[in-house]
Amino acid sequence: MDTLSHAISSGVALPRSSSRSSPLLCHGFGSLNFRTRRTHTRSRVFAEIQRNQSIDFNDPDWKSKFQWNFEERFNIPHLTDVFPDASTIPSTFCLRMRTPVSEHFADGYPSDEEWHGYINNNDRVLLKVIHFSSPTSAGAECIDPNCTWVEQWVHRAGPREKIYFKPEEVKAAIVTCGGLCPGLNDVIRHIVITLEIYGVKNIVGIPFGYRGFSDEGLAEMPLSRKVVQNIHLSGGSLLGVSRGGPPVSKIVDSLKERGINMLFVLGGNGTHAGANAIHDECRARKMRVAIVGVPKTIDNDILMMDKTFGFDTAVEEAQRAINSAYIEAHSAYHGIGIVKLMGRSSGFIAMHASLASGQVDICLIPEVHFNLHGPHGVLRHLKYLIETKGSAVVCVAEGAGQESFVPLNNMFVISRFSHSNFDLLQKTNATDASGNIVFGDIGVHIQQETKKYFREIGVPADVKYIDPTYMIRAVRANASDGILCTVLGQNAVHGAFAGYSGITVGICNTHYAYFPIPEVISHPREVDPNSRMWHRCLTSTGQPDFI
């Protein structure tokens, strides 16, 4: 087993910058959460960690200490942390100068001091916009028991007036890892286009994820506007994706050998953990390299962000499957349609698709425990639906009914193989090449149990199961995701030229921000069972608690 896989499977936390460790806060929690969870929602390791925090709220200065600490944690790493004397040049990104004046920039750079299109490094975006006046308010996220309002600011993304790389000295690489997601090609395309606008000529794609850094016979793919012009018209990734791969040290060796000084990493939490480790290793080796992530997860399970690209498309596409299940169920005598959607740890796709379609009677997500059997179970409710409506549609997220923490670090490995009364499927302990748990098929399980149940009670039921997961993942991005991908791709390049590294870019309260990677991947973002959105979903489906 290579170092990387070993780290994942053994739960060894990846190195973190020591400057980020804090006595006040645990990793990854912008705020303590005092909301009372309903007892049947999934117990969480990190909920416990949250409770153990040691903020002294009797300290009159706790709020300013919290904010100071937050500022520290969300400070974005910069090349000058390691190279204090790193020089800058005026930005070559200026939209008032669209035609490159010189091939080699020998006569200086076409910057325009008068152009008010740059972001000031001190610009900030407000992370939370609701002032919850009580911890019992729906979806409340409070820092102290009184829910005191504390402003939390993150760094605004966008082009800076001074840049830390000369375009002609840049070799930029793009890599896409993990599973597919609508919009990957759109992001690749906009990274390339924006790099070219800065004046970069040497741009390559690394084939098949991190494996492209090590596997024999996988050659770099030269990229240019011409190559990427139409790639957003189809789904998938021009570069290919993969799970697993070489140890971080080997990836960094490869960056060095190839002379890559900007790396754009498109992937989910695993990929970002890798990107952060690459960033740390480059720093340790004093390499002047910018590592910038763009979060890719169809599951929408990255912290802090309004949403990740591909999610809207997935929800839209999921509705087609739900609609087919509805038509099948509605047209059959005692029809029951079951649709399984992606969502390893988080039920965002299932919840949003259920809400959007308006055709779902039962939505099951990993965050909310449920029983299949018993007087309050899903099957008993299906019987009620058949008796009263004549048909029913169930939408289930793949991680529902199974403990599903992603083993990103030792915090989550604790619960990885834990047992709960609400785990419906036998665990296999099998993992994929990246160390992610391979789940049983909850959709098939519910289908089988439903058939068995109706057979046993002597009620005819026509049960149809649809698994559209890979069909959904392979489609091209819709219009709103296309725009999101465009902005994220552009901002990734701006971040690299601005000298930031170990960062990722996301949309936050409709604005775009840079985040230090560890803060967004410390655990998967989940549906809050106390949120208004989940309550809206319950209102829409009319489902009871299955406990």
Ligand X SMILES: Nc1ncnc2c1ncn2[C@@H]1O[C@H](COP(=O)(O)OP(=O)(O)OP(=O)(O)O)[C@@H](O)[C@H]1O
> How far is Cα 345 from Cα 368, in angstroms, rounded to an integer?
11
Give the shortest CB-297-to-ligand F6P separation in angstroms.
Answer: 5
Q: Print the binding letters for residues 252-281 with ligand X: x by CB under 6 A, - otherwise.
A: ---------------xxxxx-xx--x----
- 342 in contact with ligand F6P (CB under 6 A): yes
Is 343 labelled a binding residue?
A: yes
Q: How many Cβ atoms from other residues are within 10 Å of residue 1's Cβ?
A: 10
**Interacting residue with ligand F6P among 189, 190, 344, 352 (CB under 6 A):** 344
Find which of ligand X, ligand F6P, Mg ion, none residue 443 binds, CB within 5 to 8 Å per kind. none
- 240 in contact with ligand F6P (CB under 6 A): no
Question: Are the C-beta atoms of residues 2 and 247 closer than 8 Å to each other?
Answer: yes
Residues in the chain: 547
Burial letters 486-502, b for 16+ CB under 10 A, else e: bbbbbbbbbbbbbbbbb
DSSP H helices, 154-304, are: 184-198, 225-228, 248-258, 269-284
**Interacting residue with ligand F6P among 298, 305, 396, 521 (CB under 6 A):** 298
Question: Are the C-beta atoms of residues 302 and 520 closer than 8 Å to each other?
Answer: yes
Find tokens 């149940």 and name the residue: 453
Give the shortest CB-123-to-ligand F6P separation in angstroms.
Answer: 32
- 269 in contact with Mg ion (CB under 5 A): yes
Please say which residue, 8 or 378, places its beta carbon nearer to ligand X: 8
Give the shortest CB-213-to-ligand X separation in angstroms.
Answer: 10
- 270 in contact with Mg ion (CB under 5 A): yes
- 8 in contact with ligand X (CB under 6 A): yes
Lay out the sheet containing 391-397: strands in order across: 362-364, 391-397, 335-341, 462-466
Q: What's phi and psi for 485, nearest 5 deg?
A: -60, -40
**Interacting residue with ligand X among 73, 243, 334, 380 (CB under 6 A):** 243
Q: Catalytic one among 299, 301, 361, 481?
A: 299
- 183 in contact with ligand X (CB under 6 A): no
Q: Which helix (H) or strand (E) holds 471?
A: helix 469-473
Find which of ligand X, ligand F6P, Mg ion, none residue 209 binds, CB within 5 to 8 Å per kind. ligand X
Give the shortest CB-14-to-ligand X separation in angstroms.
Answer: 5
DSSP H helices, 223-286, are: 225-228, 248-258, 269-284
Alpha carbon of 425 to those of 53, 119, 449, 519: distances in Å? 34, 50, 12, 32
Token reading at 542: 């009319």
Please say which residue, 335 or 407, places its beta carbon nearer to Mg ion: 407
> How far is Cα 264 from Cα 292, in angstroms, rounded to an integer?
5
Is 217 labelled a binding residue?
A: no
Please say which residue, 268 or 443, places its beta carbon nearer to Mg ion: 268
Q: Is 419 exposed, middle or buried (0-12, 13-18, 19+ CB in 10 A)?
A: exposed
Stretch that binds Mg ion, among 248-256, 260-268, 306-314, 408-416 (CB under 5 A): 260-268
Is 267 labelled a binding residue?
A: no
Is 89 labelled a binding residue?
A: no
Contacts of residues 329-334 at CB distance under 8 Å and 24 or more positions apart, as own/partner, are 329/391, 329/392, 329/393, 329/462, 329/464, 330/390, 330/391, 332/391, 332/462, 332/464, 333/460, 333/462, 334/386, 334/390, 334/391, 334/454, 334/459, 334/460, 334/461, 334/462
Tell how far CA 81 is from the center of its chain.
Answer: 27
Find which of ligand F6P, ligand X, Mg ion, none residue 343 binds, CB within 5 to 8 Å per kind. ligand F6P
Give the shortest CB-336-to-ligand F6P separation in angstroms.
Answer: 24
Total binding residues for Mg ion by CB under 5 A? Answer: 3
Amino acid letter at 379? Answer: L
**Interacting residue with ligand F6P among 299, 328, 367, 526 (CB under 6 A):** 299
- 310 in contact with ligand X (CB under 6 A): no
DSSP 172: E
Is 291 labelled a binding residue?
A: no
Of all residues in the shown chain, the one whose CB is closest to ligand F6P is 179
> How far is Cα 30 from Cα 303, in angstroms, rounded to an integer?
10
Q: How many Cβ atoms from other residues are within 10 Å of residue 90's Cβ?
A: 15
Give the shortest CB-451-to-ligand F6P separation in angstroms.
Answer: 25
Q: Print the binding letters for residues 72-111 with ligand X: x by CB under 6 A, - otherwise.
A: ----------------------------------------
Find which of ligand X, Mg ion, ligand F6P, none residue 354 binds, CB within 5 to 8 Å per kind. none
**Tally: H helices and E strands in the chain:** 17, 15
Site for ligand X in 415-444 (CB under 6 A): 434, 436
Give the shortest CB-269-to-Mg ion separation in angstroms.
Answer: 5
Query: Of 64, 117, 121, whose CA–CA distance to 514 is shortest?
Result: 121
423 catalytic, yes or no?
no
Q: Which residues define the annotated binding site for ATP?
A: 179, 243-244, 268-271
Binding residues for Mg ion, per CB under 5 A?
Answer: 268-270
Q: Which residues define the annotated binding site for substrate?
A: 297-299, 342-344, 398, 470-473
Annotated active-site positions, please?
A: 299
Binding residues for ligand F6P, per CB under 6 A?
Answer: 178-179, 268, 297-299, 342-344, 398, 432
Q: Which residues define the annotated binding site for Mg(2+)?
A: 269
Binding residues for ligand X, per CB under 6 A?
Answer: 4, 7-8, 14, 177-179, 209-210, 243-245, 267-271, 273-274, 277, 297, 408, 434, 436
